[in-house]
């Protein structure tokens, strides 16, 4: 006799791991059975300060007692404070808040087009992005994403995007076309395999953007907020983008996104040209303010830089030891381990040993510890990783 199993009311948009997480603190999470896991996913580079950081929790608890939402029809003091803090610690002049990374990139796309058409008074609209990029799953941000496997089934895509090969200097000869208005890129391609941008390639893009009056927009949704060892990854390349998109680590897990723009680019928006009901509301802004305040006033980013260097060095030893590992690449606490076969095997085996990591494409293991992780936790992670790779090598 067959047994009817009730299906989930959730749409099947995720291949979920067989694990239900109900609690988190610092570098650890716990499942429904009380089993403890070392979380080296950080909510996909989101819980940069660890799970439920006290500095953010206290700020949110205070805000919960006063005001949750009022809309952007009114001034929101905590939102102004967060914007001021971001501007003071970056090369930008103005901020627009939204709810997610995809929305941030949507805003950047709209800003680039409107700047070209209303400020520069041209008919340019095309944005150049790069192969294996990932900019989100809304229709416009998906159209900007240079991965056909993610776009399949959603055609026709939004026109106005052209993809060039990432880290390819000769291909930059094709960067500028008649309708080109901006370039959008990641300084480390996260979903695309943890691939850092080559500094010489970036320098050439900057030069071309300056020469032809194109906006340079950097997607720092995964690399921003200290993940690569500085508050923003662009600092390590010595560049000054016109626009940066943020989300993930900006709110320590509370949904918030933003674009930061210099004075020139920000002229593309005027009242009524863009908006968001929930963007930068009091709760989200409070989480963001507490997060950024802690990042810029404590040594937590320096700690992330140092522990990231230690992790990278230990991973290099792993690479030299095990035949299944081809190379290690990344920046700070965004590290990728390139495998000779399916990375999911390592992810699944590590989970069996109560350690959570991710893939970044079929053959790359992505490792994203929180900034608060300790040397002892890294040592434990490496010890278990060696055990798992030894089983695969045998």
Catalogue all structural domains in the chain, each as residue range(s) with its CATH number: 21-53+300-393 (3.90.1150.10), 67-297 (3.40.640.10)
How far is 146 from 67, CA to CA, in rounded Å?
41
The Cβ-side half-sphere exposure at 373, using a 13 Å CA radius, reads 34
User: Mean pLDDT throughout 138-149?
Assistant: 97
User: Mean pLDDT throughout 16-26?
Assistant: 96
pLDDT at 90 over 80: yes
For residue 194, give the nearest of 354, 310, 332, 307 by alpha carbon: 332
Confidence of residue 393 (pLDDT cuts 50, 70, 90): confident
How far is 144 from 138, CA to CA, in rounded Å?
10
Q: What is the pLDDT at residue 6? A: 64
User: Mean pLDDT throughout 166-187?
Assistant: 98
pLDDT at 82 over 60: yes
H-type alpha helices, the chain: 42-45, 54-64, 77-88, 101-114, 139-144, 148-151, 199-212, 263-266, 282-297, 300-321, 344-352, 375-393
pLDDT at 200 over 80: yes
How far is 295 from 333, CA to CA, in rounded Å?
15
Number of CB atoms found within 10 A of residue 379's CB: 12
How far is 127 from 129, CA to CA, in rounded Å?
6
How far is 235 from 250, CA to CA, in rounded Å?
17
The chain-wide mean pLDDT, for the chain, equals: 96
pLDDT at 4 over 70: no
Q: Are 223 and 334 in contact (CB under 8 A)?
A: yes
User: Mean pLDDT throughout 6-27?
Assistant: 93
Max intra-chain CA distance, the chain: 73
pLDDT at 3 over 60: no
**pLDDT tens-digit series, residues 225-247:** 999 999 999 999 999 999 999 99
Confidence of residue 392 (pLDDT cuts 50, 70, 90): confident
The whole-model pTM stands at 0.95
User: Mean pLDDT throughout 79-87?
Assistant: 98
**pLDDT tens-digit series, residues 247-273:** 999 999 999 999 999 999 999 999 999
Q: Are 81 and 284 in contact (CB under 8 A)?
A: no
Q: What is the pLDDT at residue 260? A: 98
Q: What are phi and psi of 12, to 5 degrees?
A: -80, 60
Q: What is the pLDDT at residue 7? A: 83
How far is 164 from 338, CA to CA, in rounded Å?
23
pLDDT at 2 over 50: no
User: Mean pLDDT throughout 327-339?
Assistant: 97
């Amino acid at each position: 006799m067959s047994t009817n199993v009730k299906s989930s009311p959730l749409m099947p948009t995720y291949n979920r791991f067989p694990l239900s997480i109900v609690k988190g603190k610092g570098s650890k999470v716990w499942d429904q059975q009380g089993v403890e896991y070392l979380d080296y996913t950080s909510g996909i580079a989101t819980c940069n300060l660890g799970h439920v950081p006290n500095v953010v929790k206290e700020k949110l608890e205070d805000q919960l007692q006063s005001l949750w939402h009022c809309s952007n029809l009114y001034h929101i003091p905590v939102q102004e404070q967060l914007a001021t803090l971001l501007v003071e610690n970056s090369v930008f002049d103005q901020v627009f808040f939204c709810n997610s990374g995809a929305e941030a990139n949507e805003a950047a796309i709209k800003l680039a087009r409107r700047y070209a058409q209303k400020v520069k008074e041209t008919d340019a609209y095309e944005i150049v992005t790069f192969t294996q990029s990932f900019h989100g799953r809304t229709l416009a941000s998906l159209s900007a994403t240079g991965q056909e496997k993610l776009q399949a089934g959603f055609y026709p895509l939004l026109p106005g995007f052209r993809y060039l090969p990432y880290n390819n200097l000769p291909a930059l000869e094709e960067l500028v076309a008649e309708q080109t208005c901006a370039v959008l890129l990641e300084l480390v391609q996260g979903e695309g395999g943890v691939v850092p941008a080559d500094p010489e390639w970036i320098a050439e893009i900057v030069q071309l953007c300056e020469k032809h009056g194109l906006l340079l927009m950097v997607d720092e949704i995964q690399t921003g907020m200290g993940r690569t060892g500085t508050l923003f990854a662009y600092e390590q390349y010595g560049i000054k983008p016109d626009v940066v998109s943020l989300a993930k680590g900006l709110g320590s897990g509370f949904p918030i996104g933003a674009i930061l723009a210099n004075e020139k680019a920000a002229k593309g928006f005027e009242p009524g040209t863009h908006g968001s009901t929930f963007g930068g509301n009091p709760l989200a802004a409070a989480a963001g303010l507490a997060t950024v305040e802690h990042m810029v006033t404590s040594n937590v980013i320096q700690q992330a830089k140092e522990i990231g260097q230690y992790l990278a060095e230990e991973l290099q030893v792993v690479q030299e030891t095990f035949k299944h590992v081809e190379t290690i690449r990344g920046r700070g606490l965004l590290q990728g381990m390139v495998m000779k076969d399916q990375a999911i095997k390592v992810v699944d085996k590590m989970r069996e040993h109560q350690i959570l990591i991710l893939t970044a494409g079929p053959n790359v293991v992505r490792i994203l510890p929180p900034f608060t992780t300790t040397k002892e936790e890294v040592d434990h992670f490496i010890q278990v990783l060696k055990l798992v790779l030894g089983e695969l090598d045998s």
